[in-house]
Amino acid sequence: MVLVGAGALRGLVMLGYRPAQLYWYDSFTYLDTAVHLRPSGQFHPAGYPLLLRALWPFHSVEVIAGVQHAMGLGIALMVYVTLRRWSLPGWGATLATLPVLFDPAFLRLEHAVLSDTQLIFLVVAALTVLLWRRVPTVQAAACAGLLVAFAGLTRTAAVPLLGLLLLYLLVRRAGWRSVVALVLAGVVPLGAYAGWYAANHGRFALSGSDGVALWARTMTFADCAVIRPPAREAVLCPNGTVVDAASEYVWAPGASLNRLPGDRFSHNDLARSFALRAIAAQPFDYLRDVARDTSLAFTWTPVAHPKRVNAALTFPRGSWPLPAFPLIDKVRQEYDPGIRGLSSVEPYAGVLAAYPYPVFLHGPLLGVVLLLGGLGVLRRRRTALLPWAVALFLLVGPVAALDFDHRYVLPVFPVACLAAALALSPRAGASAVPRSR
């Protein structure tokens, strides 16, 4: 019944918002990459465009939204069956799925042409595979490695999850065959993509933005009197430009990086070198800023960060026209002629606007859920260890690499709920064995 209700709610979103939410420049870059399949030289690898490419014959961004809504239901279903596998009662397993099933933030994310839903689906699928048995099999390890590799090709921030999965196999004493299977299944696709990227951009990498992102992160604390960068890097020192969030330095016209000749991403290697030097010279300042921005995830009322981003947790009403850019016209011609600005449709949008969802189920509840998972790990609930560690990484990793964003917190919820539920289960201890049926 809960799954049916969540499906009906998603159907209401499909009817209430037409055609789908498209963001400049992310959505249109994804769609353009899907048509002209190639590795992007900027922020986005081609993992998500591969899905869009598969859906290209439909020529409809609404079909993309429908598939992603189905993925949202699939995420909840995987969490539920994993918890039932470890003998949690039906009500307890259901409770752990409620945020991803009924949170308006998840439904709005699923309705947008963005890679986040695919990322969450792949990460939860990898955890489901590894947690299916007390000691993962070789086949499960290979499958999990492949899923995390695809997650990394969806968003490069997920690549380090391979290390967490590897540590979990070692803790579980899964054997060298499982370890090798995980490593090969994860590294081979990533290496193949990096080779494809090198053939197009002359550099063995997954994207061309990691240095730019980390440079922007350092702009909130960097002091070149302390860092003492060489002359070549000194041009990237703070120049007096002040914005309200680290990520805004990537785009701020007055920022030192954007005053250099050429495209900002052409200076990616230089930016990385400066950023690493800044972190090494000011490690405590870096950790302080990462901790401060991470704490925004736990506020009672969502904080707009950056201020231009709407942090609302409800369903809005109105219309949101698209900006005028040549790429939009190109994507409209090649992918979906019906692409236009998002509009709410009555009476469905009116029903959604009245949909209640308590604000405290975001920040404070997330803190409680993470705390429960951590306490379970301390009580030797080893099955909770992997999802809890993954949840922490998904929370802190994006902030450490660039900045806090409410969008980036959403992948934490289903994984943290999975960890908390396993931590509370008396059957998920060090010697636990999942039930056979």
Confidence check: pLDDT of 76 > 80: yes
Q: Which residue has the higher pLDDT, 173 or 290?
A: 290
Q: Is residue 49 very low, low, confident or very high in pLDDT (cuts 50, 70, 90)?
A: very high
Whole-angstrom distance, CA of residue 317 vs CA of residue 344: 6
3-state helix, strand, coil in the chain (%, to 5): 65, 0, 35
Q: Which of 209, 212, 210, 236 is nearest to 222 (CA)?
A: 236
At residue 357, the pLDDT reads 78
Tokens of 98: 């409620």
From the CA atom positions of the chain, what is the Rg in Å? 22
Residue 251 per-residue DSSP state: T
Please give the average per-residue pLDDT across 70-96, as a whole number.
95
Q: How far apart are CA 95 and CA 163, in angstroms?
A: 30
The percentage of the chain sitting over the pLDDT mark of 90, rounded to a whole number, equals 77
If you average pLDDT over every residue of the chain, what do you get?
A: 92
pLDDT score recorded for residue 432: 54
pLDDT at 402 over 90: yes
Q: Which tokens in the block code for residue 393? A: 């990484």
Q: What is the pLDDT of residues 291-325, one digit of tens each?
A: 999 999 999 888 888 888 776 678 989 999 998 88
Q: What are the backbone dihedrals phi and psi of residue 354, each rounded to the nearest 5 degrees, phi first?
A: -90, 0
Give the pLDDT confidence score for residue 25 in this predicted structure.
Answer: 83
- pLDDT tens for 99-110 read 999 999 999 999
The model's pTM = 0.94
For residue 149, pLDDT beyond 90: yes
Among 44-48, 65-69, 373-377, the range with the most confident prediction by mean pLDDT is: 65-69
Contact at 8 Å (CB) between 213 and 401?
yes
Residue 135 structure tokens: 């000691």
- Minimum mean pLDDT range among 123-132, 309-318, 351-360, 428-437: 428-437
The token duo for 354 is 């009245």
How many contiguous H segments (helices) and E segments (strands) does the chain have?
A: 21, 3
Q: What is the mean pLDDT of residues 212-217?
A: 96
What's the average model confidence in pLDDT over 317-340? 93
Q: Which two tokens stand for residue 202?
A: 């002359």
Q: What is the mean predicted confidence (pLDDT) over 419-424?
A: 92
Return the sign of the alpha-carbon dihedral for residues 405, 410, 415, 418: positive
> Given this model, what pLDDT does residue 430 score?
47
User: How confident is the model over 129-136, as a mean pLDDT?
Assistant: 92
Count CA atoms within 13 Å of residue 193 on its CB side. Answer: 26
Of 355 and 7, more confident: 7
Q: In this predicted model, what pLDDT tens digit does every residue of 31-47 receive, in sequence order? A: 999 999 988 767 789 99
Quick one: angle between helices 210-218 and 283-294, nearest 10?
90
CA angle 267, 271, 273 (to 5 degrees): 120
Look at the block and give the residue holding tokens 């003998």: 87
- Structure token pair of residue 115: 């890679």
DSSP string covering 323-376: P--HHHHHHHHHT-TT---EEE-TTHHHHHHT----GGGTHHHHHHHHHHHHHH
Q: Which pLDDT score, from 0 to 100, does residue 104 have? A: 92
